[in-house]
Amino acid sequence: MDRPNAPGASYAVQSSTNLATDPFSTTIESGIPSQEEGNRIVIELPGADAAFYRIIAE
């Protein structure tokens, strides 16, 4: 996942396999510091049929 960053911010990546019953209850990584050129993280996909991800400012 790639996204632009705000200077001095930190971010977290959250996931869910079912938005209706379990909306973004799993934090994959947090405390990701903003970097001038942007951040890139690699996420291993779960064994579920579907997964949803979001990036939030902390």
Write out pLDDT tens, residues 1-58.
Answer: 666 677 888 999 999 988 999 899 999 999 988 887 777 788 887 777 888 999 898 8
Backbone angles phi, psi at 56, to 5 degrees: -125, 150
* CB 16 within 8 Å of CB 24: yes
Instruction: Look at residue 4 in the predicted model and tell me its pLDDT.
Output: 65
* CB 1 within 8 Å of CB 43: yes
Q: What is the largest CA-CA distance in the chain?
A: 36
Rounded-to-integer distance, Cα 53 and Cα 44, Å: 12
Instruction: Look at residue 15 in the predicted model and tell me its pLDDT.
Output: 92
Q: What is the pTM of this model?
A: 0.77
Instruction: Look at residue 5 in the predicted model and tell me its pLDDT.
Output: 74
